[in-house]
Amino acid sequence: MELRKLLGDRVVERLASSQRFAALTGAGVSAESGVATFRDPNGLWAQFRPEELASMEGFLSNPERVWQWYQYRRHVIERVRPNPAHRALAELETLVPEMTLITQNVDRLHQRAGSTRVLELHGNLEENHCADCGLPYCDRISDESPPRCPACGGLVRPSVVWFGEMLPADVLQEAERTARRAEVFLVVGTSAEVYPAAALPFLAWQHGATIIEVNPTPTPVSAIAHASIREKAGSALPALVELIAAVRTTDGMGQTTLRRR
């Protein structure tokens, strides 16, 4: 079905006239670049439960194993590239007055694609900090074992959110503010089952946003979505952004209006 017909006139009009866009992205977006999820580990890592590799308890019981797991993930991410979904979201930022990207992914592929306003709910794999005092650690690291903090001697850990940990309060607050203000809210490549991230589309919907879901299979968001595109993000988002570019035009006052065909 043609995308414009699938979305419907009311959704297309919102795409044409809205000033504030936001998107929530999940593991499905990164998977198309070859980044495996915790549900799909490779090789020797498949024998471990996620909690053994991504929790403070797992880290304290075997720091070397957890550190080597994250070094493995970092090396995987170094080899992959942003895919068309990442690039489409970066392009969308150039088409609308305000575009905020909220991601559950830790690979920073959105930034590598060119997105500049990104809220990382679960942290990122590029950075490290002391598990005891919180001091950022920027020195060289090895693949074998975590370094020690130069300030307190504590173990250095990846700056990602582990199981049982709270999301960064400032990032979550900004994500919630973004959801409340959004006029169009995209939900892309996520199961929408992990909270508090999964609550953001519903918060946006409660405040009047048009919800567009992009996912091959239904999710809890499907019940409130004004439109659901049942495709992978890599094929759906370029077409969606192309449509947004086609229907938007700017008048002399900087306001967007629907471009009639």
Same domain, 196 and 247: yes
Same domain, 71 and 181: no
Q: How many other CB atoms are found less than 10 A from the CB of residue 192?
A: 21
- Token pair 């900004």 is at which residue? 174
Domain CATH number, residue 68 = 3.30.1600.10
What is the set of active-site residues? 122
Q: How many other CB atoms are found less than 10 A from the CB of residue 2?
A: 8
Q: How does the average pLDDT of the chain come out, rounded?
A: 93
Same domain, 194 and 228: yes
Same domain, 150 and 241: no
Same domain, 138 and 227: no
Same domain, 115 and 238: yes
103 DSSP β-pair partners: 25, 120
Res 243 pLDDT > 60:
yes
- Token pair 């370094």 is at which residue? 147
How many whole angstroms from its chain centre is CA 76?
A: 18
Same domain, 145 and 244: no
pLDDT tens digits for range 72-81: 999 999 999 9
State which residues form the domain around 247: 3-35+82-122+167-258
Amino acid, single-letter form, for residue 1: M
Same domain, 55 and 138: yes
Same domain, 195 and 105: yes
Same domain, 138 and 214: no
Least confident of 3-17, 142-156, 239-253: 239-253
Same domain, 75 and 90: no
* Torsions phi, psi for 19 (to 5 deg): -100, -30
Enter the pTM of the model: 0.91
* Torsions phi, psi for 3 (to 5 deg): -60, -40
The total number of structural domains in the chain stands at 2
Same domain, 250 and 206: yes
Rounded Cα distance between 194 and 26, Å, is: 10
Domain CATH number, residue 108 = 3.40.50.1220
The percentage of the chain sitting over the pLDDT mark of 90, rounded to a whole number, equals 88
Least confident of 35-49, 151-165, 179-193, 203-217: 35-49
pLDDT tens digits for range 134-154: 999 999 999 999 999 999 999
